[in-house]
A and B are shown apart, each in its own frame.
Chain A
């Protein structure tokens, strides 16, 4: 139980410490509102990546997909005067395309997802800069007002992010596909031999992740009121720090929606607090970087600690934290099925 709520408790402790050190600046509704609102697109991006990670595919290109979406909103809506709905349709279509592109290489061709998405991510970053190298201001006021619309002092994007968290949790727990997705990641061969279409699950998760990243991009353009083509890559580290740290809490050892929510605001609170202490500039990267490494370590330790005593024969194997984004192994046969017996082909 301690492990399940440990991060939540640390978050509260952190709030108390910063509140004690900087009561005026830290403990006011303005700061709270800013923290909750400003990081909502990050949270949406992270939640969108959960299905892909659960299915065993690490998608590093999603932050770049977000960046491209932001840029396209600026380019189409502002420069080319497209109506907002047409812009949104085009941006989402672009998200589908990016996900499909990743799926072709990762699922169909069987290339390591880290390599593929690192490549496509860089490619998309370049495309974004190619589309428009300078930031564009003057995004559709309708979008700006919508995303900044305040409910109880917090912007609407925050509530959208919460809604997505509910949907993500519901899908993982109450939909058969969500349960099966976990098996696709944790035991691809088991899933394939149970008749699940491993390739389809992974491809679907990749496309979903890119589309959600595009939605996050549209919302980000709205909250910022402008489109900066270089913004995508700055989300790369924070988003994975949130996801991996999230996997240490609520259901430790598994990627999960509420853990991701808590981790996102834990990290944002930390950065905001440190900045209020006067440690600005470098502290962002140091804090996120350190958190990512520590989160991954803690995640591994929790998985190991939860594992019961192993039988002598199994102890020789390296324990793997469950649901970790292993590279999708080639599900070719070893032992009983001869090489080439590729279960993943369907």
Chain B
């Protein structure tokens, strides 16, 4: 959301200056103007949401010609900082932000005139329109005008050609962006962003927010080669990422954030992966205790139990050759870096995304993959709690009772009629068991807090008493208390004999809750962690081992 706003803002304002643009793309006077000078200076930048500091007194310097990695795990505050830079969030009073020597005005009214804000953003979604051509996407909002104010497409094409050449890309200007590879799309977005800042003589700042998360390895390498070439122009690059290998290979310096605080700032050369992981993940032994582990330990060893789910060589759009099994009472975690494909697996197993190949066995009997659909999966005893609550898990504007009973309306029908009092009574019981506050079945689900919404969604599925429960990021955007409640409910379900498959990037939750964690990299299952290896650090370490 933020990305689109910024991108549009950037482009909109610069249109008025379009006619003054040089048409050679990156002409000689722009090379190395800001080399070594401070292009971005941040002091005491904080941000609080509902009293909680998500970003706490961040100080950061970026010089022209350098690549600075901003590294952090989920919720570390790195996205919040990007959103402050882009003007989407306003920082707490006392913050100081200067870009190329000029104070950054805050708030939505700050204006995005490149002269005052010589800063450009490439967000993970790239903000490209698939149906529009390469040239249209490149030019959007900053059109070069010819006679009579009409867009000069000839000038646009010259400018595009120069920009593409710089990045070694051979794209036809008329090609629809939807036909491009992911790598070419990322490069086009970067080329466009650079085109927007190259016009200022004082250098500029390019912010790359997880630009390579969904790229194959060679694609990422091309993107970083392009990024490196920019530094020669005096542009400072802020690379926001959670990928340690990227930071190690492609940055000059790194700032590590954890829980909104800067925990490490250092030159990258010589910095070990271990050191970075230790900075990103707190030492659990030193106090970050999660209470779930003890309850899990009480469960009997699952090895002797029945195998409820067996997956062999499962392939989908992003993962291939995935094999694992889950026994009764076992919690299997799936994790990896963003874009590694691990979170596709629950949807493949549920028939919500088409599987290309593989064998799925439930309680020993094979599921016909070609005919697998959510309806069949549910009848076979599978349930899925999807990640996107507002779109896929619940209709927020419907009453809570209707949401939680949707999957099982048949049980409230007597003589052809839906017994509303019966349904409400049952829903009330479900909400109470799930610890949803308030227990108000007739209230719209949207009036509940995120944590309570999620507990209600989980209750909907637990009501069906699944044999195998699949979850994708079940505690995303959930407060700490609800998080513990949800995890304890999952542990309870496992104790009762169900198998759970839990896809998540929350390493600490996985370490606390799971019996086995499967780590994915580049679409493949690369490592299995269990027993003493199963720690938050171990998971993070394994995630980064293969991804580099």
Contacts and interface: CB of A to CB of B under 8 A. Distances in A.
A195 B464 CA distance: 12
Contacts of B386: 189, 193, 336
Given A174-B417, A179-B418, A346-B351, A190 B394 contact: yes
Contacts of A278: none
Interface in A172-229: 173-176, 179-180, 182-183, 186-187, 189-197
Contacts of A345: 354, 373
Nearest to B384: A193
Size band of the B side of the interface? Answer: 35 or more
A190 B354 contact: no
B397 interface: yes
B290 interface: no
Given A176-B409, A183-B398, A308-B446, A333 B353 contact: yes
Contacts of A191: 406
Contacts of B393: 190, 193
B352 A176 contact: no
A194 B317 contact: no
Interface in B372-409: 373-379, 384, 386-388, 390-395, 397-398, 402, 406-407, 409
Interface in A287-317: 307-308, 310-314, 316-317
A180 B418 CA distance: 12
A275 interface: no
B304 interface: no
A186 to B, nearest CB: 5
Interface string B358-375: 000000000000000111
Nearest to A200: B375
B47 to A, nearest CB: 12
A338 B540 CA distance: 24
Given A179-B406, A336-B347, A338-B344, A195 B378 contact: yes
Interface string B440-456: 00001011001000000
A322 B398 contact: yes
Given A307-B446, A336-B388, A343 B352 contact: yes
A336 B352 CA distance: 11
B343 interface: yes
Contacts of B398: 182-183, 186-187, 322
A180 B375 CA distance: 14
Contacts of A281: none
B353 A341 contact: yes
Interface in A57-115: none
B395 A195 contact: no
Contacts of A189: 386, 388, 391-392
A151 interface: no
Interface in B322-367: 343-344, 347, 350-354
B487 to A, nearest CB: 20
Nearest to B377: A195
A25 interface: no
B450 to A, nearest CB: 8
A312 B317 CA distance: 34
A281 B379 CA distance: 59
Interface in A305-344: 307-308, 310-314, 316-317, 322, 333-343
Nearest to B385: A193
B84 to A, nearest CB: 15
B548 to A, nearest CB: 23
A190 B395 contact: yes
Interface in B258-295: none
B413 interface: yes
A338 B397 contact: no
A34 B175 CA distance: 62
B387 A195 contact: no
A334 B373 CA distance: 18
B518 to A, nearest CB: 17
B211 to A, nearest CB: 17
B410 interface: yes
A316 B347 contact: no
Contacts of A190: 391-395, 406
B250 interface: no
A175 B347 contact: no
A173 B387 CA distance: 30
Instruction: Select the residue from A183, A313, A334, A339 with max chain B CB neighbours within 10 A.
Output: A183
Contact of B317 (A182, A340, A346): A340
Nearest to B374: A195
A337 B395 contact: no
B382 to A, nearest CB: 10
A338 B352 contact: no
Contact of A341 (B352, B379, B418, B444): B352
Given A333-B347, A338-B353, A340-B354, A346 B374 contact: yes
Contacts of A193: 350, 352, 374, 384, 386, 392-393
Interface string B21-63: 0000000000000000000000000000100000000000000
A176 B402 CA distance: 11
Given A173-B418, A175-B418, A190-B392, A336 B472 contact: yes
B373 A337 contact: no
Interface string B304-318: 000000000000111
Given A176-B413, A180-B406, A316-B1, A337 B377 contact: no
Contacts of B317: 338-341
- Listed residue (A193, A308, A317) with the most chain B CB atoms within 10 angstroms of its CB: A193
B391 A187 contact: yes
Interface of A: 173-176, 179-180, 182-183, 186-187, 189-197, 307-308, 310-314, 316-317, 322, 333-343, 345-346
In order of increasing CB-CB distance, the 7 nearest A-B pairs are A341-B353, A338-B317, A346-B373, A176-B409, A187-B395, A195-B375, A195-B378
Given A195-B407, A333-B352, A343-B352, 5 more contacts: A183-B398, A341-B347, A341-B352, A343-B353, A346-B375
22 contacts: A173-B418, A179-B402, A182-B398, A186-B398, A187-B392, A187-B398, A189-B391, A190-B393, A192-B374, A193-B352, A193-B384, A194-B374, A194-B378, A308-B447, A313-B477, A316-B1, A336-B343, A338-B317, A338-B318, A340-B353, A341-B317, A346-B373
